[in-house]
Amino acid sequence: MADPQPVLIIPPEHSTVRRQRYWPVVTLVTIGLTFVVFGLQNLAGGSTSTEVLLDFGAAYMPYFRQGQYWRLVMPIFLHIGWTHILLNMYALYILGPMLERVYGYGRFAFIYIGAGMASSFLSMRMSPDISVGASGAIFGVAGAMVVTGFLHHEVVPHHWRRAFGKILVVAIALEFLVDRFIPHIDNWGHLGGLVGGMILAGLIPPPRPAHVVAGEEKPTQAWVWIPIVLVALSMGWEVRYYYGTREVVRLLREGTRLGAAHQDNQALEKFSRAAALAPNDARPHEALGSLYLSQNRVADAVREFERALKLSPDSTNAQIGLAMAYLKQGQGAKAQQLLSNVIRQAMSTAEGQVQIADLLAQHKQYALAIQHYQAALKLKPDFAAAHNNLAWLYATCDDPKFRNPQEALAHARRAVELSNWKEATFIDTLAEAFYANGEYAEAVMTQTKALALDPNNQEYKDHMARYQKAAAGAGS
């Protein structure tokens, strides 16, 4: 029997064979796809808009509980502003090619998406806030590099071994330390991604280098199909959800406009259609509850608000609406308990105060609403939305006792100044304040600017027709 053919092992740094340049295809495709999604965010209304982020699949537990499981994947590709995306994509561009070179594009893609999903899940589980960004997945890449450096150091190119070892451990520790002092950093998401990446790297070994055994088959890259399918399905479900929720928002806006015009039957039809279109969305039920409450159909209002709370247990709108319904039913203790919980949660922030004030105004609790708007402005004097919403109440309140046209004009002017005349809603409020003060020509001129920013807004067109009619009557 002949002796076996000896195996020649040639370390890569001493090989005389010219190596082909390695292209980190998954890293580059991921960066490109992330920028495409970022562009779509901006086209849809802005990457910093909470509404856009939620519509695009931000991690948010109340929606995840409703079966929107793509919110595990989509946050990996979403970012808030240019600084956020540039920092994350730079970090991925530095770390991604190193791990992808060691693991191959298939295993690397699996680790990256898997770590990102772990990040989204822990963030939703531990934080009530929405969360987006690739940083959790990038922490997963860093964690996988550390595990690979300790468990499989032989597969790491010699010139990268320090990067896969103690230096990266120190960098990760410093990053977590610094993040503790930076507001709005999702530390739970970072931790979830880091741990997820480390676990996956421990369970999935990197392929053996091709140079170890002459004639060895190239390692399989079939792993890549798992993340491809996950991302493709998530984005497909997200597109379907996005267009569905756009229709729901349109119906809710039309219903609100009709309700304000006391066309209750038409408003009811719009809200009911929205509820049928999105049975797991709390917003149509909140709208129906408010409409029923305005009609003194208290039992129906309670039913709708309870449905909304079942779908979204943390909904401030539904809690306050249900409290108002309880008050009308004579259940003061239950109403007080709900209101106390909501107010206690929101008292510390101007945003929370405005949200409560908006809901109180919607339920005609005008004195309390004004108190909360004023409290918001004490906390944040330059809060444009608080100035705007208080101005609208003073200008349009259906109880003459709370109307104050002069104060409406002062607050509306401040809101428009703070927003640099770029917010159509605030300009519309200023026009309404001019109208409330009898300055009809000024109302027409101001509303022209609102329509220039949002020319298809039917509500603004209706307001303009009213201002023009008043101005024509005043001039005759």
Least Cα distance to 188 among 128, 123, 118, 115 occurs for 123
| pLDDT mean values, one per 10 residues, the chain (476 residues) | 39 45 88 96 86 91 88 96 94 94 93 97 90 94 92 83 81 82 82 95 82 53 92 94 89 88 91 92 93 92 93 83 88 82 71 83 88 92 93 94 96 93 92 96 95 88 94 79
pTM above threshold 0.75? no
Name the nearest CA neighbour of 241 among 68, 364, 102.
Answer: 68
pLDDT at 71: 96
Instruction: Check: CB of residue 107 under 8 Å from CB of residue 178.
Output: no
Q: For 198-238, what is the HEC assignment?
A: HHHHHHCCCCCCCCCCCCCCCCCCHHHHHHHHHHHHHHHHH
pLDDT digits (tens, 9 = 90+) for 281-299: 899 999 999 999 989 999 9
CA distance 471 to 464: 10
Domain annotation for the chain: domains and CATH numbers = 23-207+220-236 (1.20.1540.10), 381-476 (1.25.40.10)
Candidates 67, 42, 46, 72; CA nearest to 57 is: 72
What are 300-346's pLDDT values in tens digits? 999 999 999 988 887 878 888 898 899 888 888 888 888 777 767 66
Check: CB of residue 271 under 8 Å from CB of residue 291: yes
Q: Please tell me the predicted confidence (pLDDT) of residue 466.
A: 94
Residue 119 exposure: Cα atoms within 13 Å on the Cβ side: 35
State the pLDDT at residue 459: 87
Instruction: Tell me what pLDDT residue 452 has.
Output: 92
pLDDT of residue 213: 41
